[in-house]
C-alpha cells in the first residue's frame, strides 16, 4: 500500500441541472493552499472532467476567494460551469477559510473578477447561482463554412450563414461560434482533429484552442448547442457557460439577442447529460454591456484526495 504525504478535500457537483448524473460534472478542491501548479494539473487530469477548480484565499480580502480553473491539460482564465458549481459548493458550505459566505460572492480569476449571486429556496438551501462574465465582448476572425465544416464532420450546406459566418468570439474565454441549419445537423456533428489542427495553425494569431460551439435555434429565445474541445482533451462538453455567454454577447451585434431578458441554452442532450443554462444579456444604447450565466447544481460526491 502506498502512503500519502498529504490530502486535499474535494466536492463534485453536477452543474446546470437539478438532477444528479445529468448536467456538467465539476470537481472542486475546496482548499488548494498546499498545492503546486503541477499538482493542480495532475489532479485535474485524474478527475478527467472538462474542468476542475481550486479554491485559494483571496489576494484582496474584499473578495471571497481566488479560483483557478484547469482542464485535463491546461489552465484557463475563465469558464462558466466551474464558477456556477464552485459558488454552489462554497455557498452551501457557508464559509471558506474561516470567513462566512453570503449570497454575493466575488472570485478572483485570471480573466478578472467574477461576481456571483446566490439564490435560495424557502428553506434557505442554495437553489441556483448566477455569475457575470468578466470580460468585454471580443470578436475575432470569421471562418469560411467550407473551412469549418470538415472540422466538425458536416457538409458545407449544414452551416447556417444567413445571420453570421462562423466566428471567433469571447467574453473571457474564446470559442468558435457556428450556427448549424437544424437539429439533424447538430446531432450528426463530430470533431475532426486533422482539419481542426490546420485551422488552429491558420489562425494562430487568435491564441485559441479552437473549442467549437455549435448551436441551432429551437425557439425564439431558445437554442440547442454542442461544444467540442479536443485540444483540451474534452471530446464533448455537456454544458459550456462561457461559450453561451460569448454567443449571447455576439448576437447583440446582430440585433438577434433577447436583450435584457433571459435566453435558454440547452446542451448535452446528445451525451445523455441534458443541461439548462439561463443566459441574460444586458445592453446599453444597443451595445453589449454584460452577460449573466445562471443555473442549478446538485452535489454528487465529497471526500479527500491523497497525494
Q: What is the DSSP code string of 22-39?
A: SSEEEEEES--TT--HHH
H helix or E strand, kind and range, residue 219: strand 212-219
Residues in Cβ contact with 133 at an 8 Å cutoff, skipping those fewer than 6 apart = 78, 80, 114, 171, 172, 242, 245, 249, 290, 291, 292, 293
DSSP one-letter string for 31-71: --TT--HHHHHHHHHHH-SS-EEEEE--SSTTSSEEEEEE-
How far CA 290 is from CA of 95, 284, 293, in Å, comes to 28, 9, 10
pLDDT of the residue at 4: 62
pLDDT, averaged across the chain: 94
pLDDT in tens, 225-279: 999 999 999 999 999 999 999 999 999 888 765 556 689 999 999 999 999 999 9
Residue 5's CB: how many other CB atoms inside 10 A? 7
pLDDT of the residue at 158: 98
Give the active site residue among 18, 39, 46, 51.
51
Strand partners, 234: 229
Calpha distance 95→102 (Å, rounded): 8
Q: Is residue 1 very low, low, confident or very high in pLDDT (cuts 50, 70, 90)?
A: very low
pLDDT of the residue at 197: 97
Whether 51 is catalytic:
yes
Q: Is the pLDDT of residue 6 over 50?
A: yes
- What residue ranges define each of the domains in the chain, with the CATH number in brackets? 7-131+296-306 (3.10.310.10), 138-295 (3.10.310.10)
Q: Is residue 282 very low, low, confident or very high in pLDDT (cuts 50, 70, 90)?
A: confident
Give the 3-state DSSP-derived string for 105-117, with helices as H, strands as E and coil as C: EEEEECCEEEEEE
Quick check: pTM over 0.75?
yes
Percentage of residues in the chain having pLDDT higher than 90: 88
pLDDT of the residue at 260: 66
Q: Is residue 49 very low, low, confident or very high in pLDDT (cuts 50, 70, 90)?
A: very high
Name the CA radius of gyration of the chain, rounded.
19
H helix or E strand, kind and range, residue 90: helix 80-93
| Helix/strand/coil for 265 | strand
Amino acid at each position: 500500500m502506498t502512503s500519502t504525504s498529504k490530502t486535499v478535500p474535494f466536492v463534485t457537483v453536477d452543474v446546470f441541472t437539478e438532477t444528479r448524473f445529468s448536467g456538467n460534472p465539476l470537481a472542486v478542491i475546496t482548499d488548494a493552499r498546499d498545492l503546486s501548479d503541477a499538482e493542480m494539473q495532475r489532479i485535474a487530469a485524474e478527475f478527467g472532467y472538462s474542468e476542475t477548480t481550486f479554491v485559494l484565499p483571496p489576494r484582496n480580502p474584499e473578495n471571497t476567494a481566488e479560483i483557478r480553473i484547469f482542464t485535463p491539460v491546461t489552465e484557463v482564465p475563465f469558464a462558466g460551469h466551474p464558477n456556477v458549481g464552485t459558488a454552489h459548493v462554497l455557498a452551501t458550505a457557508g464559509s471558506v477559510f474561516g470567513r462566512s459566505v453570503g449570497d454575493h460572492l466575488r472570485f478572483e480569476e485570471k480573466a478578472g473578477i467574477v461576481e456571483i449571486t446566490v439564490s435560495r429556496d424557502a428553506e434557505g438551501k442554495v437553489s441556483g447561482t448566477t455569475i457575470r462574465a468578466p470580460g468585454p465582448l471580443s470578436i475575432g476572425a470569421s471562418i469560411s463554412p467550407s473551412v469549418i465544416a470538415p472540422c466538425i464532420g458536416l457538409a458545407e450546406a449544414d452551416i447556417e450563414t444567413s445571420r453570421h459566418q462562423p466566428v471567433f468570439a469571447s467574453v473571457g474565454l474564446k470559442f468558435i461560434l457556428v450556427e448549424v441549419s437544424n437539429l439533424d445537423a447538430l446531432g450528426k456533428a463530430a470533431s475532426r482533429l486533422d482539419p481542426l489542427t490546420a485551422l488552429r495553425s491558420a489562425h494562430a494569431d487568435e491564441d485559441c484552442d479552437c473549442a467549437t460551439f455549435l448551436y441551432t435555434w429551437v425557439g425564439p429565445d431558445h437554442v440547442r448547442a454542442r461544444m467540442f474541445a479536443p485540444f483540451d482533451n474534452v471530446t464533448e462538453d455537456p454544458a459550456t457557460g462561457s461559450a453561451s455567454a460569448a454567443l449571447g454577447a455576439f448576437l447583440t451585434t446582430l440585433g438577434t439577442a433577447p436583450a435584457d431578458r433571459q435566453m435558454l441554452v440547452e446542451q448535452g442532450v446528445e451525451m445523455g447529460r441534458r443541461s439548462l443554462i439561463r443566459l441574460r444579456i444586458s445592453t446599453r444604447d444597443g451595445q453589449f454591456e454584460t452577460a449573466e450565466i445562471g443555473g442549478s447544481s446538485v452535489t454528487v460526491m465529497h471526500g479527500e484526495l491523497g497525494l
